[in-house]
Amino acid sequence: MRNIWIICRKELGSYFVSPIAYLLLTLFGVIFGYFFWTALKFFVFRGMEMQMSGQMYPMNLNEWIIRPLLSNVGVIGLFMIPLITMRLFAEEKRTGTIELLATSPIRDTEIIVGKWLAALILYSSLLLFTALNFAFLFRYGHPDWKPLLVGYLGILLQAGALLAIGTFISTLTKNQIIAGAATFAVCLLLYVFGWVAGFDTSTWARVLSYTSVAVHNESFSKGVIDSKDAIFYLSVIFLGLFLTARSLESLRWRS
Amino acid sequence: MITVKDLTKRYAGATAVDQISFEVPKGQIVGFLGPNGAGKTTTMRILTCFLPPSAGSANVAGFDVLDQPFEVKKRIGYLPETPPIYPEMETAEYLKFVGRLKGLSGAQLERQIDYVSERCSIRDVRTKLLGKLSKGYRQRVGLAQAIIHNPDVLILDEPTAGLDPKQINETRDLIKSLAGDHTIILSTHILPEVEQTCEQVIIINKGKLVATDSVRNLQARARGAETVFVEVAGRNGSLEVAMVQQKLEHIGGVSRVNCKQQFDGRAIFEVESQTGRTVRADLARAVVESGWDLNELRPSAMSLEEVFLQLTGGDASKAQTPVSEEKVPVEVVKS
């Protein structure tokens, strides 16, 4: 545990000393701020429209603003995650510092989990921006906070899974750009695989859509914790970190 | 402290290290010598548990690198060819990180950081970013990193590569001062470094062990038969080179005479004597008695560089016999 924390702290230090963390925070803040603003505008517009026409539907902040925004966060995450994970191992391989880690009395798994945890913490700090915006909803309205918490859990699980995959891809190359691009491609595919279920019901389509990280987020975004989906994310996290460990090991046998 | 037995490392299609065996006693500095690509780095990486061996065994500080890598890693300090530094970290922060990685904490960590900063003279760059340090400072931070947990064994891969002469001397002195407390293996392709810093040399070439001995023995061994340079001059400004050569060849104990250089009126000969015979006095007498002038008479003490070139140059059969058949005056550029 101690070693994991040593690595994690070092990674967080690297993120926040370099411009990476601030760049990501800024980009995320701007993009999410824009989404929030449009969602809120639309909500207000529909409210006024209803009043004018005299037809009243129940309008719910959770349903109309929080839920779509949380799914937007997942999409923004697709762009952020490669930027977070691409340097994790690629940079250590390029500068040779991987030799320091590999010849220190510390287990590979500790290095890997430490790095992945640091990536997850950085991603969570991005989510603070969303909390900042949602705070306004709580100030001026009465959304239900429980589905929101479940939604956050879903987003963190999804991010954790994609970050684990990104961590794995980062061990495959010395080049950060390659690691980032490949991670983005894989993340995007895993996201859009769910779309096939809309027009195809063959077994292949079902399998494909089952591997989609977006499909498994639907219950969370509704505020429901489905153990099936939680287990899916946890397995992907485990698989990603497991592959990372194997890849690190093979690095030693090959190089 | 270090025992290596039949160590072999094969990569796809190539053998980087081929059945190397050697031993390093506690507290010694051993020079690991060989041309670039000889397998020095690979051997060191195996000793540090970074790479697993394909065959054979390596035992460091009492533990096998394959069976108990964790115990080995606790007891070694390693400086790879390029110091493994994070450019975005400050020196003190970096040492703290490495110290923690090696299992130090609390007051002990602070004490060790203090100690290595003093020892490697990096106190004045404690708050500087590593990426902004000069090459010499980076190397010293690299050394500080390697000794921070006071390891039994220090493995240094080309510790003076890329430094300027002043820094090289400082680094060598630092390494010498570390011997005794630590057993040190340092690799290099620079010979004077071995002559100056190390007690033992392990020479490898193309993955094979060529020689392992003390520096002094190796010089002596390579000398084998004595070689003497003789400069002879004619009294009246002219000299029959063939006659001198014939004269010298007839001295008892001389096995070979070779005219190296001719100038007008004088010539330099290389005289090889049979092993165990000293012919210098006879040479001098013969030259003077024949009516020539003896300008110079000096034994050719072989530097380790010549030994090295002999041992590693050419084919394996040559490497086996320390004295090669044809001797060319060696001009080795001291890098």
Nearest-neighbour CA in chain B from A107: distance (Å): 8
Same domain, B92 and B186: yes
- Domain-embedded: residue B318: no
CA-CA distances (angstroms) from residue B5 to A23, A246, B50, B209, B213?
Answer: 53, 29, 18, 11, 16
Q: Are residues B15 and B92 in the same domain?
A: yes
Q: Are A209 and A197 in contact (CB under 8 A)?
A: yes
Note whether B263 contacts A: Cβ–Cβ < 8 A. Answer: no
Find the CB nearest A103 among B11, B52, B78.
B78
Instruction: In whole angstroms, give the CA distance from residue B308 to residue B331.
Output: 13
What is the CATH number for B144? 3.40.50.300
Minimal C-alpha gap between A250 and chain B (Å) = 10
Q: Domain containing A122: what range?
A: 2-254
User: Binning pLDDT at 50, 70 and 90, where does residue A239 land?
Assistant: very high
What CATH number corresponds to the domain at position B290? 3.30.70.3190
Token pair 């001059």 in the structure block, residue: B233
Note whether A101 contacts B101, CB cutoff 8 Å: yes
Domain that holds residue B263: 224-299
Q: Tell me what pLDDT residue B303 has.
A: 60
* More confident position, B196 or A235: A235
Asked if pLDDT for residue A194 goes beyond 80, the answer is: yes
d(CA B247, CA B294): 14
Closest among B248, B318, B327, B240 to B284, alpha carbons compared = B248
Position with higher pLDDT, A29 vs B329: A29
Residue B314 touches chain A, beta carbons under 8 Å: no
> Are both B203 and B293 inside the same structural domain?
no
Where are the alpha helices (H) located in B198-294, listed in sequence order? 215-223, 241-249, 280-289
Instruction: Select the more confidently predicted residue: B296 or A7.
Output: A7
Domain identity same for B207 and B132? yes
- The string of pLDDT tens digits covering residues A100-156 is 999 999 999 999 999 999 999 999 999 988 888 888 888 888 888 888 999 999 999
Query: CB distance B98–A100 less than 8 Å?
Result: yes
- The reply to whether B237 and B209 lie within a common domain is no
Query: What CA–CA distance (Å, rounded) separates A98 from B43?
Result: 18
CA distances from B311 to B19, B88, B205, B216, B220 (A): 18, 44, 9, 15, 13
| Count of H-run helices and E-run strands, chain A | 12, 0
Total domains, chain A: 1
Whether B315 is in a domain gets the answer: no
The residue from B179, B194, B221 where one domain ends is B221
Residue A231 has pLDDT above 80, yes or no: yes
Spell out the per-residue pLDDT of chain B, length 335, in tens.
Answer: 899 999 998 887 788 888 999 999 888 899 988 888 888 899 999 999 998 998 999 999 889 999 999 999 999 999 998 999 999 999 999 999 999 999 999 999 999 999 999 988 899 999 999 999 988 899 999 999 999 999 999 999 988 887 888 888 888 888 888 887 889 999 987 777 787 888 888 888 888 888 888 877 776 665 555 678 888 888 777 777 888 888 888 887 787 888 888 887 888 888 877 766 677 888 888 888 888 888 888 876 566 666 677 776 644 333 333 433 334 444 444 44
- What mean pLDDT do residues A17-34 have? 92
Is A99–B80 a contact, with Cβ atoms under 8 angstroms apart?
yes
Please, are residues B191 and B32 in contact by the beta-carbon 8 Å criterion?
Answer: no
Cα–Cα nearest to B39, from B27, B24, B26, B51: B51
B174 and B248 housed in the same domain: no
Q: How does A88-125 read in b/e, with b if 16+ C-beta sit within 10 Å?
A: bbbbbbebebbbbbbbbbbebebbbbbbbbbbbebbeb
B251 and B156, same structural domain? no
Q: Which residues of B touch A101 (CB under 8 A)?
A: 101
Question: For chain B, how long is the longest CA-to-CA vector?
Answer: 83
Sequence letter at residue B216: R
Residues on chain B touching A253 (C-beta within 8 angstroms) = 52
pLDDT above 90: percentage of residues in chain A: 60
Alpha-carbon span A34 to A32, nearest angstrom: 5
B136 plus B258 within the same structural domain: no
Asked whether residue B304 is domain-assigned, the answer is no
**Cβ B212 vs Cβ B203: under 8 Å:** yes
Strand order in the sheet with B14-24: B14-24, B2-11, B55-60, B63-64
Nearest alpha-carbon partner for A74 in A233, A171, A214, A226? A214
Q: B203 and B62, same structural domain?
A: yes
Residues B159 and B74 in one domain: yes
* pLDDT at residue B246, as a whole number: 85
State residue A104's pLDDT score. Answer: 94
Question: What CA–CA distance (Å, rounded) separates B143 from B133?
Answer: 14
Confidence (pLDDT) at B326: 39
Chain A's closest residue to B101, CA to CA, is: A104
A14 reaches B (C-beta below 8 A): yes
Of B182, B206, B221, the last residue of a domain is B221
pTM value surpassing 0.90:
no
Q: What is the pLDDT of residue A255?
A: 56
Q: Is B121 on the interface with A (CB under 8 A)?
A: no
Q: What is the pLDDT of residue B168?
A: 85
The confidence score (pLDDT) of residue B143 equals 92
Q: Are residues B204 and B115 in the same domain?
A: yes
Mean pLDDT, chain A, whole residue set: 91
How close, in Å, is residue B214 to chain A by CA atoms? Answer: 29
Pick the closest to residue B207 from B5, B18, B10 (CA basis). B18
Domains of chain B: total = 2
Is the pLDDT score of A228 beyond 80? yes
Shared domain for B75 and B212, answered yes or no, is: yes
- Looking at residue B316, its pLDDT comes to 37
Rg of the Cα atoms in chain B = 25
Cβ atoms of B174 and B150 closer than 8 Å: no
Q: Do A97 and B86 touch (CB under 8 A)?
A: yes
